[in-house]
Structure 1
Amino acid sequence: MAKNTQKFGLPVDFEPMEAKSSAELPAEEGWQYEPKWDGFRCLAFKDGDAVDLRAKSGKPLGRYFPEVLALLGDLPIGSMVVDGELVIEIEGKLSFEAMQMRLHPAESRVRKLSASTPAKLVLFDILFSPDGVSQVNTPLKTRRAKLEAVISPFQRTESLVLSPYTTDYTLARAWLSQAGNGGIDGVVCKRLDGTYEPGVRAMIKVKRLRTADCVVGGFRYESKSKEVGSLLLGLYNAGGELDHVGFTSTIADADRAALTERLEARREAPGFTGKAPGGPSRWSTGRSGNWEPVKPDLVVEVRFDHVTGRRFRHGTKLMRWRPDKKPAQCTYEQIEGASMQDPTS
């Protein structure tokens, strides 16, 4: 159901506005707070019955979510471009694992999953409205009213909803305190008077658990083993170079063999184009200092505690792989101010 990029109100390679991490919610007036959903960010392009879904990375998502393509295609709306999040609920909780299972090469498998665990599209912004007008340069407060006018008549609890929002700081803190455990992932903060800035980290995100999306630029083998022992993590600096910023070794034993094979197939120098790994740190004295560079096309989300000198102070915890994220989006901006304490702890 995808269509030529020029037939939609905006090109399908239009970049979504992004967020930078913060340890605290902004408390002054002029902010709108929204739940941060634990799914795949999605820009949805519609022109009649033609629909295209794009991930934050710019990759097409429609093939993996045919039920959402059909839903949007059937809406009696001529054209629109909306911003939101694809999520899947299982037993009342959001399941990122179920989202990842959709990224399967077999169409028959995707169709089966779309019937057994259908996805829901949660919308929070509109970039092109059915009246044929771009809303990109319109303030958020006006965009939200426009989104509600367009989508409210067609909301369906199980498949298409508007994200709640508030301007109440106290309520936003309550949302943040309840984040995690299969619910929302945190809180996103947006300026009410702000325009939509494609590709810019103009929003603020606050999570109970501090995480960052990192590029895998290399790996080390386990000591006295030919299986992967740790992943070497990188973030892109302002010059576009990939700097080594730390490692994660929390790899399940059952996953090591397959992961080793996957990484070895991606061996490619230099791995890191900026600061490269040195020998083993004092946190991993039993591991060889040798490391293997890989093609920087894999993204992982890791949990960390402190950042010192623009590096993770200790080893990180591997949370999950992020095939929906573009490596170039893994920048230092994510961890600015990350040495601050979590206000909800």
Structure 2
Amino acid sequence: MEFPVEVALARAVPRLPTGDGWWYEIKFDGHRAVLWREAETARVQARSGRDVTAVWLDLALAAFHTLPPGTVLDGEAVIYRDGRVDFGAAQSRAASAPPRARDLAERWPATFAAWDILQHPVHGDVRGRPYSERRALLLDVLADVPPPIQAVPATDDPTVAQVWYDTLHEQGIEGVVAKRASSLYRSGRIWQKVRHAETVDAEVVGHTGPGARPRALVVELPDGRRALSQALTAPLAAAVSAHIASAGPGRRVHARATGSYTTVSPGLTVEVLAGTTRHPVVTVTRVR
């Protein structure tokens, strides 16, 4: 398996699917990450494919010391503060330069919530195996691995999954992800998610202002329309600029609906308030 890997995603649905063959996982509110334990090192990949090891160095070190070489895990980089999952802390870490990220890691170390195994130290690339088999292999690999790397809770009982959704929100749990037991691992929106936030995912296609400090975003909504965002807050601008810096500069274009903007390479997704998508200007809540 070659670095980086294209990750699987989930699409938002209004309620949990039920019936034979469904499994459910707690959806932690953090930053998507892929842990690579290679022969002589370990590194961390962002959802976009960027190498973000310098930002999540504590997780890379944990992977190096506890995972067998040849292991690749998919999951979420999570930070706890005051006993609950704190997405803001994870977002601040992800948008930080390496020196500040190291300082933040000393104060609020990260946890890796693993929900899938893409490469097994013995069986190799297991993305072509069903979810139920990959789940068993994940639990086997992590059986003796201490925190901060842990498997997410999972169940095939929809009643238990609904209880998770109804009761864990105050602890910072975002929702529940549903996966078919027979599903293979592939890129694209192959899973389903139910979450508390009234938001929708939108793909970033461009930005206004300089790349080092973007002022607003041009996003493509789920129905295919493109819209301009409101002015970005400083943390959002920092997270977007990190993606722009790693992907390289775009080109200038002009569209009637959004005006002039600079294009952004694919791979950057944000959440926008669902109630704003009917308007020409949308409100971005965070970078995924």
TM-score, normalised via structure 2 length: 0.81
Aligned partner of 2:112 in structure 1 is 121
Aligned partner of 2:159 in structure 1 is 170
Aligned partner of 2:271 in structure 1 is 301
Aligned partner of 1:3 in structure 2 is none
Aligned partner of 2:206 in structure 1 is 217
What SS is found at the alignment partner of 1:62? coil
Q: Which moved more, 1:120-129 or 1:95-104?
A: 95-104
Aligned partner of 2:139 in structure 1 is 148
Task: Name the amino acid aligned to 2:252.
Answer: A
Task: Name the amino acid aligned to 1:318.
Answer: V
Aligned partner of 1:206 in structure 2 is 194
Match of 1:189 among 170, 178, 199: 178
Aligned partner of 1:284 in structure 2 is none
Question: Contact 1:17–1:200 (CA<8 Å) still a contact in 2?
Answer: yes
Match of 2:252 among 269, 273, 289: 269
Task: Name the amino acid aligned to 1:246.
Answer: A
Aligned runs of 1:88-99 on 2, under 5 Å?
88-99=79-90
Task: Name the amino acid aligned to 2:164.
Answer: W
Larger Rg: 1
**C-alpha deviation, 1:149, in angstroms:** 1.0
How big is each residue's C-alpha offset from its partner over 1:207-266, in whole Å with a ceiling of 9 and x where there is no partner?
Answer: 22232133153569xxxxxxx6x75432488xxxxx5433443766xx6xx89xx89xx8
Question: 2:53 aligned with 1:62, yes or no?
Answer: yes
Aligned partner of 2:278 in structure 1 is 313
Aligned partner of 2:212 in structure 1 is none
Structure 2: how far apart are the matches of 1:90 and 1:219?
A: 34
Task: Name the amino acid aligned to 1:269.
Answer: R
Aligned partner of 2:227 in structure 1 is 246
Q: Which moved more, 1:24-33 or 1:167-176?
A: 167-176
Question: Contact 2:35–2:60 (CA<8 Å) still a contact in 1?
Answer: no
Report which of the two has the higher share of strand. Answer: 2
Report how many aligned residue pairs link the two structures.
270
Structure 2 CA distance for partners of 1:180 and 1:136, relative to 1, 3 Å: same
CA RMSD, 1 decimal: 3.1
Gaps of 5+ in 2: 210-214
Question: 2:217 aligned with 1:234, yes or no?
Answer: no
Aligned partner of 1:130 in structure 2 is 121
TM-score, normalised via structure 1 length: 0.69
Structure 1: how far apart are the matches of 2:13 and 2:103?
A: 39
Task: Name the amino acid aligned to 2:61.
Answer: A
Structure 1: how far apart are the matches of 2:27 and 2:175?
A: 5
Structure 1: how far apart are the matches of 2:217 and 2:96?
A: 26
Question: Contact 2:112–2:149 (CA<8 Å) still a contact in 1?
Answer: yes
**C-alpha deviation, 1:268, in angstroms:** 4.8
Task: Name the amino acid aligned to 1:52.
Answer: R
